Amino acid sequence: MSAPKSITVFTRHAPGGEPGRGLRRLAELAREAGITLRVPPAEVEKHRLEPLPGVELGADPEGPTDLAVALGGDGTILATLRRYAGRRVPVFAINFGEIGFLSTVERDGLDGAIGPALRGEFEVLPLPALEVGTSSGPWLGVNDISFHRRPDMRVAELSYGVRGEQVGRVRCDGLVISTPAGSTGYNLANGGPVMAWGVEGYVVSFIAPHTLSARALVVAPDDVLQVTNRSADEPVDVTTDGRTVCTLAPREQVEVRFRHDMALLAQVAGASFYHRLRDKFGRLTR
């Protein structure tokens, strides 16, 4: 990659603290490299930033940029990846959260990683996403799209089909559809398979299924998945990457599609999925 001329930064939701210090250090390093650091209004307010040389305060987060830097956990990283999905802007993520599976380096490695990144010395991994078409419009998930029963309502009854043919119908607390990148999240907690990055396809798994026969299913990337709320009178919530976006009404059906190479994840040279897996979750066997 060529060296970026501008960078836009996003941090975790909590103001100040380590992400705030990380942002200020990023501003110093960018200024030394002659690169404009763009800071959106929400970040300026969150960290109470004063004018700094080489920093564009109040920058439009949707404006053009060569690189996005996320200082936070997976929620911040996913929000940044969604923002730039389809725009060919790499997202360089530094973990200021808990697990930070999508991050390329931990917070104490910021100085060592940002220098090469500012010179364009990073690798880019294209990531797929999932798109669900609903009555309120299409919604994108980089990790997963899930359907949940509401806490004050009965167990959900969900069915799913592929190519118009019903594959399963399950009473459960919910259903999760995950990309390979998201397979180590909600899907893993459901007992679904871990899918290495680069695998073509997506996985369907269940949250607390009320049957012994429910099994996760890996779906081919070009197959469209239909999900139907079989309840006669109770809606279920639809979430993308952990944020509730809409509801699935009783008897309503939606379609979920696999979208190739929607987001770009920037990585330090030599980073790998398998190293992340072992580092974040431990060895698969002892």
Q: Which two tokens stand for residue 258?
A: 């696999």
Rounded to an integer, what distance in angstroms lies between the CA atom of residue 45 and that of residue 258?
36
Q: Which of 66, 74, 173, 241 is catalytic?
A: 74
Nearest to 233 by CA among 169, 175, 160, 153: 153
- Give catalytic status of residue 74 as yes or no: yes
Count CB-CB contacts under 10 A for residue 187. Answer: 28
Q: Give a three-class secondary structure readout of 18-56.
A: HHHHHHHHHHHHHHHCCCEEEECHHHHHHHCCCCCCCEE
Closest CA to 209 of 246, 173, 263: 173
Q: Are 184 and 281 in contact (CB under 8 A)?
A: yes
Active site residues: 74
